[in-house]
Chains A and B, each alone.
Chain A
Amino acid sequence: MTTLTHDLPAVHREARPVRRVRIGGADPELVSHVVGSAAGALALDWIVYERLISVSGAIGFWLCWYVVFLVMLAATSATTLDRVGVVDRLVGALVTTAGLVLVACLAGIVLFTFVRGRTALGHLNFFTQTTAYIGPDAPLDQGGIYAAIVGTLEQVAISVVFSVPLGIATAVYLSEVRGRLARTVRSVVEAMSAVPTIVAGLFIYSMLILKLGQERSGFAASLALCVSMVPVVTTTAEVVLRLVPGGLREASLALGTTHWQTVRRVVLPTARPGLVTAVLLGVARVIGETSPVLLVAGSTNELNYDPMHGPMLSLPLFVFTDMRMPIDQAIDRAFGAAVVLLVLVVVLFSLARMAGGRPLGHISRRKQRRLAAARARRLESEPVR
């Protein structure tokens, strides 16, 4: 470039000030076109929709606005761009809208649940009492979801006890043992994650209650939850185990350890945060499952600590029963319980992200201090040679 400009006459060089080309950032032309089209579409839509046709309905209004907006954006873009450019801009607008709709859906669901659940959550008794001896139309300062919380915690704990060892051992088989069955097992686990939860409930119902003659109980519900939880734990854990660098395994084996010692002392500790993520994601998946619990947990309003005997309430079941009652207090309670469920899921999910966000084999500050202290103790106790 410099050689070219040298050859130009001096006049030319001064006439063209060097303009820095900006890469990225918002294109002012694009911004003005989009804002202009949006405002114009809003005005036109308001006039036509509200004044001329005079139909009501917020969704219809915004749908019409969006169509008018797209047409206007195409028209304004056509003033400066060719056909290809206009198409590019329209697609950009559509794709951005899809992204925004996704975010808006999630935000809308969370906000809506929180706003409607506020009334029930304001009462402290909501967390400490049960709805056993009160009617569904009792005021909100009586009764609560204590029985449901107890039931959910017990059921989830039992299914964790069953499915975490099973899931992690399967993942170890898939990534460490790598037997002949690995391919089959992997595809079956994938298929298992797609089993509709109501089918899992039916399976436990058919096996445990019809064939083995057990009663409906919290234990049956936790077995049904296991069917959904095992594949989540297995697939997540397998991904994490595969991330453990092969060099670590080889170094350990080269020191003369056995296969089991390598897995126990090197692979699993390295992957520990990821395995925690796997467990938390599994819990988050099953904590809100309604349909399997609906089939096998039975229905009750009473507090039941014993998962082996008698029907047991849980949070999703409580929401499901109460939201279908045509009584305001029951619906408020259902929303309150849904908020508790949502908060639990979000907390579990964030914990999983935090645990999984750390790189494998990362040693935290606290652990470093502990290791240093242990080393210091060892040096003190050993005689100086």
Chain B
Amino acid sequence: MTGITVERPERLRRTLTTRPTAQDIGFVAAARTAAISTLVIMGLIGVFLLIGAWPALHEEGWRFLTTTEWLPETGHFGIASLLWGTVLVGLFALCVAVPLGFGAALFITEYAPRSLKKPLVTLVDLMAAVPSIVYAMWALFFLQSHLLTIAQWLSVHLGPALPFLRVGTPDSPSSYTSSAFIAGIAVGVVVLPTVTSVMREVFAQAPVGEREGAIALGATRWGMIRTVVIPFGRAGMVGGVMLGLGRALGETIVVYAIISPTFGFTTRPLQSGTNTIAAHIASRYSESGGVALSGLLGAGLVLFLFTLVINTLAGVVVSRSRSGAATEI
């Protein structure tokens, strides 16, 4: 048997390489530049706030975080009371937004008739798009006068038992008008759509099989929600609450419209007078110069870092719930 000799080619395997055209190189470079420029903008925000705030931070040092007064003329100023007021207003906002948002999100995903679901989702999105200045007007001209009576009732009837509900002069309505309580509730309405839409999204992702399983085992609707929807959406709920808190801390105009600024730790949230970082900046920027302005920039820097931390934590929690890592069985 005479063999047929076959000439073997030198290389059996071709290597595939892409050679991007000049156009492609330009395109990728442009897209990358755009992406990097967003990083640069975020960096610049921090850098320029820090540069602007440096004189005040340098002068005050750590006292900037612990001083309650704001007297830049005497070199004695800090944001301790502002931070406390910001947290107080944020907590009141959460007291309104979390139960309502939780209920509304459950209503949209579980209780509403199917034909109403889509309109309701649109409505929540629209509510998030309403400018905060419109909320501020509503809060100032409508909500304030109505909440006044509730605040007064709370203070007069429950004040004797609970000291933090007391106010200076319980009989005059003006001691209640500009309190952290009213500002907090108004901000709560502003952040309500944020909380609702995050929670709705995670509730809607609860698996259908488990829902049907719970119903088939004889659970009531609430039983199904309690055993399936809430455990599956727990991380998203926490994330929604934190995102809402992040927005509430940065809310400026609504708070500024309601409160009358005071310095010092408000231990009586029903009493007129409190202050938040954002509202303080908005009210003082025009009359400040030199080290006072630098102090305002420092306050802004603290607010920036504060919201950044809260929102990053919220983002981590929400994305973990979205990836389904916590929901595998």
- Knowing A85-B220, A188-B42, the reply to whether A112 touches B250 (Cβ < 8 A) is no
1/0 contact trace for A202-225 toward B, CB 8 Å? 110111001100000000000000
Most buried by A among B26, B122, B281, B286: B281
B146 is an interface residue with CB less than 8 A from chain A: yes
User: What is the bound-complex CA distance between A188 and B315, given in angstroms?
Assistant: 11
Asked whether, in the complex, the Cβ of A198 is within 8 Å of the Cβ of B252, the reply is: yes
A88 is an interface residue with CB less than 8 A from chain B: yes
Asked whether, in the complex, the Cβ of A289 is within 8 Å of the Cβ of B281, the reply is: no
Asked whether, in the complex, the Cβ of A196 is within 8 Å of the Cβ of B252, the reply is: yes
Residues in A with CB closer than 8 Å to B220 are 84-85, 87-88
Asked whether, in the complex, the Cβ of A101 is within 8 Å of the Cβ of B104, the reply is: yes
- Give the size of the chain A interface in residues (CB under 8 angstroms): 99
B17 is an interface residue with CB less than 8 A from chain A: no
Residues in B with CB closer than 8 Å to A338 are 133-134, 137
Most buried by B among A57, A182, A196: A196
Q: Give B239 Cβ to nearest chain A Cβ, in Å.
A: 11
Asked whether, in the complex, the Cβ of A290 is within 8 Å of the Cβ of B131, the reply is: yes
Asked whether, in the complex, the Cβ of B52 is within 8 Å of the Cβ of A210, the reply is: yes
A173 is an interface residue with CB less than 8 A from chain B: yes
Docked complex: B96-155 residues within 8 A CB-CB of A: 99-104, 106-108, 110-112, 120, 122-127, 129-138, 140-142, 146-147, 149-150, 153
Asked whether, in the complex, the Cβ of B253 is within 8 Å of the Cβ of A290, the reply is: yes
Docked complex: A335-378 residues within 8 A CB-CB of B: 335, 338, 341-342, 345-346, 349, 353
A189 is an interface residue with CB less than 8 A from chain B: yes
Asked whether, in the complex, the Cβ of A199 is within 8 Å of the Cβ of B250, the reply is: yes
A285, A320, A324, A346: the one within 8 Å of B126 (CB): A346
Q: Give A94 Cβ to nearest chain B Cβ, in Å.
A: 6
Asked whether, in the complex, the Cβ of B153 is within 8 Å of the Cβ of A199, the reply is: no
Most buried by B among A94, A194, A345: A194
Residues in A with CB closer than 8 Å to B35 are 169-170, 173-174, 179, 181-182, 185
B282 is an interface residue with CB less than 8 A from chain A: yes
Asked whether, in the complex, the Cβ of A211 is within 8 Å of the Cβ of B48, the reply is: yes
Size range of the interface on B? Answer: 35 or more
B209 is an interface residue with CB less than 8 A from chain A: no
A4 is an interface residue with CB less than 8 A from chain B: no
Closest residue on chain A to residue B100 by CB atoms: A98
Residues in B with CB closer than 8 Å to A196 are 249-252, 278, 303-304, 307
Residues in B with CB closer than 8 Å to A173 are 31-32, 34-35
User: What is the bound-complex CA distance between A134 and B52, given in angstroms?
Assistant: 38
Q: Give B276 Cβ to nearest chain A Cβ, in Å.
A: 10
Closest residue on chain B to residue A344 by CB atoms: B131
Residues in A with CB closer than 8 Å to B196 are 102
Asked whether, in the complex, the Cβ of A320 is within 8 Å of the Cβ of B253, the reply is: yes
- Knowing A85-B220, A88-B221, the reply to whether A172 touches B307 (Cβ < 8 A) is no
Residues in A with CB closer than 8 Å to B48 are 203, 206-207, 211
- Knowing A323-B136, A323-B137, the reply to whether A172 touches B31 (Cβ < 8 A) is yes
Q: Give B99 Cβ to nearest chain A Cβ, in Å.
A: 7
User: What is the bound-complex CA distance between A302 and B106, given in angstroms?
Assistant: 49
1/0 contact trace for B27-58 toward A, CB 8 Å? 11011111111110110110011011000000
- Knowing A196-B250, A196-B304, A206-B48, the reply to whether A106 touches B104 (Cβ < 8 A) is no
User: What is the bound-complex CA distance between A191 and B21, given in angstroms?
Assistant: 35
Docked complex: B239-285 residues within 8 A CB-CB of A: 243, 246-247, 249-253, 257, 278, 281-282, 285
User: What is the bound-complex CA distance between A291 and B252, given in angstroms?
Assistant: 7
1/0 contact trace for A100-113 toward B, CB 8 Å? 01110110111011
Asked whether, in the complex, the Cβ of B153 is within 8 Å of the Cβ of A60, the reply is: yes
Residues in A with CB closer than 8 Å to B9 are none
A120 is an interface residue with CB less than 8 A from chain B: no
Residues in A with CB closer than 8 Å to B311 are 190-191, 194
B103, B107, B137, B249: the one within 8 Å of A319 (CB): B137
Asked whether, in the complex, the Cβ of B27 is within 8 Å of the Cβ of A194, the reply is: no
Asked whether, in the complex, the Cβ of A319 is within 8 Å of the Cβ of B133, the reply is: yes
Residues in A with CB closer than 8 Å to B304 are 195-196, 199
Residues in A with CB closer than 8 Å to B34 are 165-166, 169-170, 172-173
Residues in A with CB closer than 8 Å to B31 are 169-170, 172-173, 176-177
Q: Give A291 Cβ to nearest chain B Cβ, in Å.
A: 4
A38 is an interface residue with CB less than 8 A from chain B: no
Asked whether, in the complex, the Cβ of B103 is within 8 Å of the Cβ of A203, the reply is: no
Asked whether, in the complex, the Cβ of A99 is within 8 Å of the Cβ of B111, the reply is: yes
Instruction: Give me the 8 closest cross-chain CB pairs, A-B, nearest first.
Output: A288-B131, A98-B103, A196-B250, A99-B107, A169-B34, A88-B220, A194-B311, A206-B52
List 9 A-B residue pairs with CB atoms under 8 Å apart, sorted by A's residue number. Answer: A56-B149, A98-B103, A109-B135, A113-B134, A166-B34, A174-B35, A181-B36, A196-B278, A291-B253
